[in-house]
Homo-oligomer: A and B are copies of this chain.
Amino acid sequence: MIINDRMKTILNAVVHLYITTAEPVSSEMIVCYYGLPVSSATVRHDLLVLEKLGFLKKPHTSAGRLPTDKGYRFYVDKLMEKNINSLSEEEKEEIIEQYKIGRDFNEIMIITSKLISRLTNNLGLVLAPNMVRDTLKDIHFIALDNQRLLVTLITNSGLFFQKIMKVNCDISEENLETISQIIKKEFYGKNLEMVNEEMLKKIYQYSFEYQALESIWNLIENCFDFTVDNTKVFLGNRSYILKQPEFKEIEKLNYLFDFIEEEENLVKIIKRSILKKQIDIIIGSELGQEIMQNCSVITRQYLIKGKPRGAIGVLGPTRMDYSKSISVLEFIANRLSEILPE
């Protein structure tokens, strides 16, 4: 069986109509809305073939048809117009507007996830940049008060990482200076992961040399016991996806929320797309999660200093508007890559 052009048109029609109406699509509907020069009976014949090929399915014998995951896949790969201009001028302006104000890093992630939610009517996702492969460039100690230090670690890509360090003794600026000198000398240009691992050894080594610093070294030891791989996912507004008809049964919603609020689940899905240059679309069962069978995730890398460092995404029902979502992600990822250090 070969898929001819008309069948492609029909498949495309089913996907489109199903995406917009959320109802199984009948042969009549297709003829009506797409003005095909054939009768509904002919369309029905083609539908039958498309179903046999696994692109479509019926919820029950006397219902219209809707795309299978394979159907969506074909649509996304072969049929969908990659029309980046499906964003209106207003929407583009809205996005640009959001990034004008000089925000701090966390805020940018939050804003972005909410923006994606609003524009796609689904759940926006942002995977914060991962610093595992970054190298140490600088370290600063700032006294917040006489008991707490703010330690700021700056990496080669201009990202930073902060911890608050509790000190129970007075620490002179001089000592801090010595320490930051030592750390810089020992670890400058070294991989953060290595810094993490070797800090302990160095602490012991130097604690002989600078006995006065011993107590501080202990603090630093705790302070640097950080998991560099602190991949963080920011979720946008949930209120939009809540309104999607596929979640009108509370039970499905429960499964969805249990899944998405377990951070690792999403990290696993999004992470793999950081290094992909193209939009990454994962449809339904491709997610490999029983619970998420009727959801799709679309992701897009973003760059920092020209290098892929994180990703943004949309999570919605498989019946989501792929074209629109892609446009939104492309546009926002590009903005983000501009905003974040080039």
Cα of A257 to Cα of B248 in the assembled complex, Å: 14
A27 interface residue (CB < 8 Å to B): no
Contact of A106 with B by CB under 8 A: yes
Residues of B within 8 A of A143 (CB): 138, 154
Asked whether any CB of chain B lies closer than 8 Å to the CB of A223, the reply is yes
Chain B residues lying within 8 Å of A145, measured Cβ to Cβ, are 157-158, 341
Q: Of all chain B residues, which has the CB nearest A156? A: B145
**C-alpha spacing A243/B251, complex, angstroms:** 9
Asked if A253 is at the interface of the complex by the 8 Å CB criterion, the answer is yes
Known: A103-B164, A152-B142, A162-B104. A239 touches B223 (CB 8 A): no
Q: Are A164 and B105 in contact (CB under 8 A)?
A: yes
Tell me the residues in window 196-229 of chain A with beta carbons closer than 8 Å to chain B beta carbons: 222-223
Chain A 300-323 interface residues, beta-carbon cutoff 8 Å to B? none
Total chain A interface residues with beta-carbon distance under 8 A = 43
User: Does the CB pair A148–B158 fall under 8 Å?
Assistant: yes
B102 in contact with A341 (CB, 8 Å)? no
Question: A254, B239: Cβ atoms under 8 Å?
Answer: yes
Name A248's contact: one of B154, B242, B250, B261 (CB within 8 Å): B250
Query: Distance in Å from the Cβ of A139 to the closest Cβ of chain B?
Result: 10
Question: Does A8 count as interface, using CB distance less than 8 angstroms?
Answer: no
116-148 of chain A: CB within 8 A of chain B: 138, 140, 142-145, 147-148
Q: Which of B103, B222, B250, B261 contacts A253 (CB 8 A)?
A: B250
Evaluate contact between B164 and A142: CB separation under 8 angstroms.
no
Question: Contact between B142 and A104 (Cβ–Cβ < 8 Å)?
Answer: no
CB nearest neighbor in B for A253 = B242
Tell me which residues from 136 to 178 in chain A have a Cβ below 8 Å from any Cβ of chain B.
Answer: 138, 140, 142-145, 147-148, 150, 152, 154, 157-160, 162-166
Q: Give 13 pairs: A residue, B residue, CB < 8 Å, sorted on A.
A: A102-B163, A102-B165, A102-B223, A103-B164, A104-B164, A138-B142, A144-B154, A144-B160, A237-B261, A242-B253, A242-B254, A247-B250, A253-B253
Which 5 A-B pairs give the minimum distances between C-beta atoms?
A145-B158, A239-B257, A144-B158, A237-B261, A239-B261
